[in-house]
Chain A
């Protein structure tokens, strides 16, 4: 018996957002795609299908296909009608969309969160101040602008001597 309760479109849309928002990021599973700001919107189309919009962090983010698949599966498991995922590029994702809760989860996970509203720093020279996510010390150094994934840089703490990932500002 799969008679769909006649929710109105707005309720259905909110439910789709709630369910999709729970899907974890495949590369940083401590964050949901809602925390990351990757989940952008949802709507109920004229033919009654539920459509969810996601946006990539970086153009070449290899996690996008996986995220789309997981969102579709989660919506289908919740019996939402004809779930579909759309990838949108505009407006371009920015680290400013990451939620406060997301930043805190990231730090506890051992990844330094992006500095909010850091803006574009000078093309050459100036480095950001990135506190160590483990001991909180400001005595840190950048090892490489490019880390284990497109969205992270590699840093180290000279106080506790631990290397750590820094979620790059974009």
Chain B
């Protein structure tokens, strides 16, 4: 099946970016199903993935409506190639060990909770409606990942070491959450999406609180790797898409 290319307007790109974030993260978390350290965690990661997948579906449907070409949510998810994906680099990183997965979930959920809260008053009514649902779900995600991170950081020598390594490995991708794309500025001014600077204090506070409880040190802000929002991805995304998109590419239009 040939790939599709979306002619992005700033609004379409902004919605696709959040849809891709949710889809890519949902896919990563779903890779744990059947492999988590215990049954409860298998269910939990699957449930968080399901929430994110639901958010992705609503956002892709909104994106397709903005595009106005009668494409479906599935077309946008399955038929775009990696350079067309706008997700944060953080979310495509391989799962690694359990600590790495929990740190990735925590760092992003702690950002999304205040982001969705702010987006509830978006001037885009559909985005505001999606935000009102997602905000409640994000609260569970932050709490779940935060409680795990406290348990791991303040746990054994081994779990503390692995959590520290995960934080150091992933910290370089956190700057992208707060970076502003010049194209997004008019959208921020029009009140469509929140300015990332207003999200920062809440994120800093949640991170500080949990890391302190977890006896983990906050890594220093050094070089921050950007590129995901522009389609310049790490090698990891191509592998993820190869698995996720295979069926629709090999058997176009296949359905249950």
A residues with a Cβ closer than 8 A to B are 56, 58-62, 88-93, 120, 123-124, 143-150, 154, 168, 170
Q: Once the chains bind, are A59 and B55 in contact (CB under 8 Å)?
A: yes
Q: Once the chains bind, are A59 and B54 in contact (CB under 8 Å)?
A: yes
Question: With contacts A90-B132, A92-B132, A92-B133 known, is A145 near B144, CB below 8 A?
Answer: yes
6 A-B interface contacts by CB (under 8 A): A56-B54, A92-B133, A144-B44, A145-B44, A145-B140, A145-B143
**B58 to chain A: which residues have CB within 8 Å?**
59, 89
Q: Once the chains bind, are B47 and A150 in contact (CB under 8 Å)?
A: yes
B122-130, B153-161, B167-175, B236-244: which one contacts chain A?
Answer: B122-130
**A170 to chain B: which residues have CB within 8 Å?**
136
Closest chain-A Cβ to B53's Cβ sits at a distance in Å of 5
**B136 to chain A: which residues have CB within 8 Å?**
92, 170
Residue of B nearest to A153 (CB): B140
**B137 to chain A: which residues have CB within 8 Å?**
58-59
Residue of A nearest to B47 (CB): A146
Q: Once the chains bind, are A146 and B48 in contact (CB under 8 Å)?
A: yes
Closest chain-A Cβ to B51's Cβ sits at a distance in Å of 5
Interface of A is mostly: loop
**B228 to chain A: which residues have CB within 8 Å?**
none
**A89 to chain B: which residues have CB within 8 Å?**
58, 126, 129-130, 132-133
Q: Once the chains bind, are A61 and B54 in contact (CB under 8 Å)?
A: yes
Q: Which of B50, B132, B206, B209 contacts A58 (CB 8 A)?
A: B50
**A150 to chain B: which residues have CB within 8 Å?**
47, 50-51
**B139 to chain A: which residues have CB within 8 Å?**
120, 123
For the complex with contacts A60-B52, A123-B142, A146-B47, 18 further pairs of A-B residues with Cβ separation under 8 Å are A58-B50, A59-B51, A59-B57, A59-B134, A60-B51, A60-B53, A62-B50, A90-B129, A124-B213, A144-B41, A144-B44, A145-B44, A147-B47, A148-B43, A150-B47, A150-B50, A150-B51, A154-B43
Q: How far is the CA of A117 from the CA of B213 in the complex (A)?
A: 30
Closest chain-A Cβ to B155's Cβ sits at a distance in Å of 17
Q: How far is the CA of A93 from the CA of B40 in the complex (A)?
A: 26
Q: Does B147 make an interface contact (CB < 8 A)?
A: yes
**A90 to chain B: which residues have CB within 8 Å?**
125, 128-129, 132
Q: Once the chains bind, are B206 and A123 in contact (CB under 8 Å)?
A: yes
Interface centre among B41, B50, B146, B206 (most CB of A within 10 A): B50
Q: How far is the CA of A154 from the CA of B44 in the complex (A)?
A: 10
Nearest 6 CB-CB pairings of A with B = A60-B54, A59-B54, A90-B129, A146-B44, A92-B132, A144-B40
Interface centre among A58, A59, A92, A123 (most CB of B within 10 A): A59
**B52 to chain A: which residues have CB within 8 Å?**
60
Q: How far is the CA of A56 from the CA of B50 in the complex (A)?
A: 13
**B130 to chain A: which residues have CB within 8 Å?**
59, 89
Q: How far is the CA of A53 from the CA of B53 in the complex (A)?
A: 22
Closest chain-B Cβ to A140's Cβ sits at a distance in Å of 16
**B206 to chain A: which residues have CB within 8 Å?**
123
Q: Once the chains bind, are B43 and A146 in contact (CB under 8 Å)?
A: yes
Residue of A nearest to B205 (CB): A123
Q: Which of A59, A93, A144 contacts B43 (CB 8 A)?
A: A144
Q: Which of B43, B133, B146 contacts A123 (CB 8 A)?
A: B146
Closest chain-A Cβ to B94's Cβ sits at a distance in Å of 23
Q: Once the chains bind, are A93 and B47 in contact (CB under 8 Å)?
A: no
Q: How far is the CA of A168 from the CA of B125 in the complex (A)?
A: 27
Q: Does B210 make an interface contact (CB < 8 A)?
A: yes
**A88 to chain B: which residues have CB within 8 Å?**
129
Closest chain-B Cβ to A95's Cβ sits at a distance in Å of 10
Residue of A nearest to B134 (CB): A59
**A143 to chain B: which residues have CB within 8 Å?**
40
Closest chain-A Cβ to B112's Cβ sits at a distance in Å of 12
